[in-house]
Amino acid sequence: MQLVDWVNDLAGTHHTKVEQLCSGHAYCRIFVDLFPGTLNMKRVKESATFEIDKISNLKVLQKAFMTVKVDKTVPIEALVRAKYQDNLEFVQWFRKFHEANGGDRMPSVEPTTASRPTSSGKPKSQTAPVATRRATGGGPIRTATTATPTTTTVVREVDPALIEENTKLKQEAEKVKGSLLALEKERDFYFNKLLTVEGICQAEQDTAPGNELITRILAILYETDDGFAPPQNPDTADVDDANNEMMQDVNGEECF
């Protein structure tokens, strides 16, 4: 991640994740290089693995902010939880603050030791010069503002061919639905006719039992295939009325 690389370059650290910046050590090293003498790095624990050490480092950083009159509160409680979002927001602000005050890429502020031979031939520890960066112009310190994230709505383009195919499928579905309704209507029509014929035959059989023609017609009506059951007629009341009317007509004809 670019922000982590930026911190590592300035502080000489080896962080691999944003969450690791919660120790506060890297921020202190960068800040003291930007404003030398504002904090004592001896009070900053480099290997801050425990929460109490992280809190101590961040409090040192907060005190340094107050020293140079930076109107920013370090969110100590949020940072030490090592959550990605909290640490990301703070490092984003810190980088903008660093750039706003003339900071750029620079070597570590901590002295480095090198060995050089002495007159006795034994190596002697030497402290290398400290590279520092002072605030430019001596003007007031500028604080960075955190940019408000914006929400972007992504509109996906739909393939026109898919839209056309979808329209055709809907039209075909409507045609099939219409055909089914027509078939159901035709089925009900002929089924009601058969019920009427059945009613007439039953009435005739009751008045004149033994009629061979009526018996044959009823046998055909009641004949079924294996696994087939006659459907229930939804309009039973209407069919019964029709049967009664037909029976009355038949009885009336017999009276004449």
* Common-topology check for domains 2-111+130-138 and 186-255: no
In this model, does residue 107 exceed pLDDT 70?
no
- Strand-pairing partners, residue 125, are 115
pTM above 0.85, yes or no: no
What residue type is assigned to position 244 of the chain? N
Under the banding of pLDDT at 50, 70 and 90, the label for residue 229 is low
Confidence at residue 118, expressed as pLDDT on a 0 to 100 scale = 40
In this model, does residue 167 exceed pLDDT 70?
yes
Kindly compute the dihedral angle of the four CA atoms of residues 23, 26, 27, 31, in this order, to the nearest 10 degrees. 150
Confidence at residue 70, expressed as pLDDT on a 0 to 100 scale = 87
Q: For 2-111+130-138, which CATH superfamily applies? A: Calponin-like domain (1.10.418.10)
Quick: pLDDT tens for 41-58: 888 988 888 888 899 989
The domain spans of the chain are: 2-111+130-138, 186-255
**Secondary-structure class of domain 186-255 per CATH:** mainly alpha
